A and B are shown apart, each in its own frame.
Chain A
Amino acid sequence: MSDKQDRYKILVVDDEPDVEPLILQRMRRAIRSGRYEFVFAQNGIEALERLNLEEDIDMVLSDINMPQMDGLTLLEQIPKVDPNIRSVIISAYGDMENIRTAMNRGAFDFVTKPLDFQDLKHTIERTLKHLIEWREALASRDKLISIQNELTVANKMQQSILPTRFPKDTNYNIWANMEPARDVGGDFYDFFRLEDGRVGIAIADVSDKGVPAALFMMSSRTLLKGTAIGLEQPNKVLDDVNDLLYEDNDAALFVTVIYAVYSPEDGVLTYSNGGHNPPLIVHSDGSSTLLPYIGGIALGIAPDMTFPQSTVNLAPGDTLILYTDGVTEAMNADQEEFGMERFQEVFKEAPPMSSQEANQAVFNAVHAFAGDTIQSDDITCLTLFRSEAGS
């Protein structure tokens, strides 16, 4: 900030000719120190002209009774020039009627004639203090608005990088959805076709939420996809992405990931786990299997890690469900978690017939369970359905 911070320009409006020399004399110390600068006008019209000409006037000190335009009329005009100027009115002693009118028209304070200069100094200082606080409040409000705008942009960017054109093949289909808890979240999902005809699928959860998590999420997603396209083995992909994320990660953010490669021909799923909740497989009879814990650490926290890998076969009619802890840890009003048991319960009576159906069933169940309870974590779910042979 400039030194404008502690220099203030005060416009004095009074038709009595002795006011100008008196103020300049009695306020000479504050004028000499540079804190106050006084400018003068003889009536309301002249005051408005000055206010329009000089944009840096902070405060107006005005008499009430003046020719051409009086102080009470001037009070109504000042906010039209600049709503952030503060006014103090000079009234005759005991003239409560005019003082009330002035206050109702937005005067910040009043002083009475004959002027007590000690009191006037206090009043000016108090007015300026209020003005400083007011300006700070305005500045932080503007800052907040601009941050909110940035968050909205970040949210849009984040949503737009998540793929929404879901593959629908004769022998498999994929569906996914991410509901961020705040404006920007730390979860993501991804799927892409690999050169050998197999499909890469991923789900991930970045520690914490908000803007830093969102930036970490963006780079995790790019690194994962970039690495996956060049490497066949899911665990080798995580080995590499982990080292890339570990470099320069002073903020100690991390991401838990499941990266899997699915072969649509024979239903073989090869997957690696980086500290993420194990996948769930729902069978065509409504029963489900939680895949066993295979080890693997969250990505970005330790270098040169070797990630585990496992293989599972999807039978026709099976649905693979990748999810983040936003699903299992969704809370209801009684502070109970949705949990794995309720999760598996969703499909018991109604085994899904497609990935989209399975996905929507998960979100419907979580929403019904949570009710109006505020969502505290991103909820993300990716589903892959292996169609019945020939259907």
Chain B
Amino acid sequence: MTRECTDTRHLGKDWQVNISTERDGGALVIKTEGRIDGSNASNFQNSVEAEITTEDSAVILDFEQLNYISSAGLRVILLIAKDLQQKSKKFAICSLSTLVREIFMISGFDQIIAVHDDPGAAVSALQN
């Protein structure tokens, strides 16, 4: 299913973040599209957490369509990671664009969050 996380339509498509989900084995793959910043970060977090069911043993954020993430966005990724750790669920992100990859690298977030090239690699890594 697809859902809009914020009502930022007046700013145009580039300023929104939308998510859609699919399941692969026990993993919930959340495709994330647009940008995550201070204006929509906590809505994004709520939308993601609302999608996670007790059956999901792993959660993967697919960032292929994510154009930008601000520090407020990184913070909610951290909150999601902490929440999943508490629920003993695995967590990874995948398919980062060059810019988003750079943001994760410079901030050092790639040292504490598993980053994979694509959803397939993330799913098989989390199944092991």
Contacts and interface: CB of A to CB of B under 8 A. Distances in A.
B82 interface: yes
B71 A207 contact: yes
A256 B107 contact: yes
A277 B38 contact: no
Given A208-B71, A254-B78, A256-B71, A297 B14 contact: no
Contacts of A252: 75, 78-79, 82
B111 interface: yes
A22 B25 CA distance: 75
A63 interface: no
A298 B82 contact: no
Contact of B75 (A207, A275, A276, A376): A207
A226 interface: no
Contacts, number: 57
B78 A297 contact: no
B14 A335 contact: yes
A274 B14 contact: no
Contact of A274 (B37, B72, B108): B108
Nearest to B74: A207
Contacts of A274: 108
B34 to A, nearest CB: 13
Interface in A64-104: none
Interface string B24-54: 0000000000000110010000000000000
B38 A297 contact: no
A258 to B, nearest CB: 11
Contacts of B105: 293
Given A256-B107, A275-B108, A301 B14 contact: no
Contacts of A335: 14
A325 B82 CA distance: 26
A325 to B, nearest CB: 8
Nearest to B82: A252
A388 to B, nearest CB: 33
B75 A297 contact: no
Nearest to B104: A275
A275 B14 contact: no
Interface string A259-283: 0000000000000001111100000
A297 B107 contact: yes
15 contacts: A205-B71, A208-B38, A208-B71, A208-B72, A209-B38, A252-B82, A256-B106, A295-B108, A295-B111, A297-B108, A297-B109, A301-B109, A335-B14, A376-B37, A376-B38
Interface of B: 14, 37-38, 41, 70-72, 74-75, 78-79, 82, 105-109, 111-112
Given A207-B75, A254-B75, A256-B106, 20 more contacts: A207-B71, A207-B72, A207-B74, A208-B75, A209-B38, A254-B74, A256-B107, A275-B106, A275-B107, A276-B106, A278-B106, A293-B105, A296-B108, A297-B108, A297-B109, A297-B111, A297-B112, A301-B109, A301-B112, A302-B111
